[in-house]
Amino acid sequence: MTEKKDYSSSENLLDSHRISPEIHEKMRKNLLYGFMFAVVMIFAGLTSGYIVSQGGIFWVSIKMPSAFMYSTLAIIASSLFLFLAKRFVKKGDYSKAKGSLGIAFVLGALFGIFQIQGWGQLAEKGSHLSGDIINIHGQYGKYYTLLYDGKEISYNDNVFYLKGEPISDEIKEEMKDFAQKLVEGSKSEGRVYKLTGYGAPFSLRYDGDLITYANNNLQLNGVLLSEIYHDRLWHFAKNIVEDRGDFIIKGKYGEDFTIYFGGKPLEYENRKFYLDGLPLSAKRLNDLNSQRNTASSYIYAFTLVHLLHWIGGIIALLVMFIKGLRLKYTQDNFLGITLGSTYWHFLGIIWLYLYAFLIFIH
């Protein structure tokens, strides 16, 4: 006679260990909150380090790129559409929920695109991930200057002047073309320069002495330029090509960027720096010339770390949109939207904090 087994007790045991939907939801939310707390600590550490780093050294206040403003608007609008999507799901209006989730995803993607464009705008102005504040190599007039039809071109506050007037855009482009040939020649084998029509209109001076040109070579006082002269010429010409004369950061001083020391802005006039109305001492000027642009590095660090967390957020938006299209969310089941939108709103708040920090504290 076959023994009859009783499975009822084992099934009851499994039921007793099965996690209820309420507990499962609470666990997922707690995991998300724990992760968000860790992210807060990361950015609190970064911003605190930024403030500490400002003390006792030269610091550059950089005007934030316009792309960062557009990214701010995009992430705010994206959060608003996520809020609407959840509201439509609760009402059972799934068609509008799908549309809202789609728009939220597109706006979220635009946030990332604008952030990358912001990096491009920073780099275009000379603010790189790593670099010096002042470009001491190839400063216009330190060793070399340009002549245009025999008249010296001067430089001040990011503007080149000829006969006391800012040079025209046409002359500036001609000057860049000439400088590009100098760049190529100074790094070529044998230091061969291909300068068609040297002296008409452009020629060079070194410490006031005219540089002559013959047989594709540059000479000073009848002697071929040495390696150090070629190297200085390369930096000089490279700066002209890249619209730099004094600073590693391009742009107009006082508008696009300002250098601070001890919380006080430096004044810049006639290519000299002043603090409290007095010229910088030799020691402070040397410190400025040798100091890294830490502020620029921090801007990239803030935005890069935030963008890494944005990747998780944009994946969540995509998943929510796909599930919305498949009608996976109902009036009784929208935990996915709740968790995804919570994280996305959190990313938006973090970015608003960073953006405000960079504008007001920076």
> Is 149 inside any structural domain?
yes
> Is 1 inside any structural domain?
no
> Is 102 inside any structural domain?
yes
Domain range holding 237? 144-246
What does 258-309 look like in DSSP terms, one character per residue?
EEEETTEEPEEETTEEEETTEEPPHHHHHHHHH-B-HHHHHHHHHHHHHHHH
> Is 211 inside any structural domain?
yes
Beta bridge partners, 162, equal 153, 165
Looking at residue 357, its amino acid is F
Burial of 320 (0-12, 13-18, 19+ CB in 10 A): buried
Q: How many domains does the chain have?
A: 2
Closest CA to 321 of 103, 29, 113: 103
Mark whether 150 and 208 lie in a shared domain. yes
Q: How far apart are CA 273 and CA 284, in angstroms?
A: 10
Mark whether 86 and 118 lie in a shared domain. yes
What does 84-120 look like in DSSP terms, one character per residue?
HHHHHHHHT-HHHHHHHHHHHHHHHHHHHHHHHHHHH
> Is 193 inside any structural domain?
yes
Q: How far apart are CA 77 and CA 83, in angstroms?
A: 10
pTM for this prediction: 0.81
Mark whether 225 and 174 lie in a shared domain. yes
Mark whether 104 and 43 lie in a shared domain. yes
* DSSP 8-state secondary structure symbol assigned to residue 358: I
Looking at residue 361, its amino acid is I
> Is 5 inside any structural domain?
no
> Is 344 inside any structural domain?
yes
| Contact yes or no for 298/53 (Cβ under 8 A) | yes
Q: How far apart are CA 119 and CA 105, in angstroms?
A: 22
Mark whether 206 and 305 lie in a shared domain. no
What does 209-254 look like in DSSP terms, one character per residue?
EEEEEETTEEEETTEE--HHHHHHHHHHHHHHHTT-SSBSS-S-BT
What pLDDT, in 10s, does the model give residues 8-31? Answer: 444 454 354 566 777 877 888 889
Peptide bond preceding 201 in cis form (omega within 30 of 0): yes
Structure tokens at 181: 């040939």
Mark whether 120 and 162 lie in a shared domain. no
Final residue of a domain: which of 190, 225, 246?
246
Burial of 270 (0-12, 13-18, 19+ CB in 10 A): exposed
Mark whether 150 and 59 lie in a shared domain. no
Mark whether 28 and 115 lie in a shared domain. yes
Structure tokens at 101: 């989730």
Q: Along the 362 residues of the chain, how does pLDDT read in single tens digits?
A: 445 545 444 445 435 456 677 787 788 888 999 999 999 999 999 999 998 888 778 999 999 999 999 999 999 999 999 999 999 999 999 999 999 999 999 999 999 999 999 999 999 888 989 888 988 888 999 999 999 999 999 998 888 999 999 999 999 999 999 999 999 999 999 999 999 889 989 999 999 999 999 999 999 999 999 999 999 999 999 999 988 888 888 888 888 899 999 889 999 988 889 999 999 999 999 999 889 999 999 999 999 999 999 999 999 999 999 999 999 988 888 888 999 999 999 999 999 999 999 998 86
Mark whether 117 and 164 lie in a shared domain. no
Looking at residue 337, its amino acid is I
Angle between helices 335-356 and 94-124 (to 10 degrees): 30
CATH code, domain carrying 29: 1.20.120.80
Give the length of the chain. 362
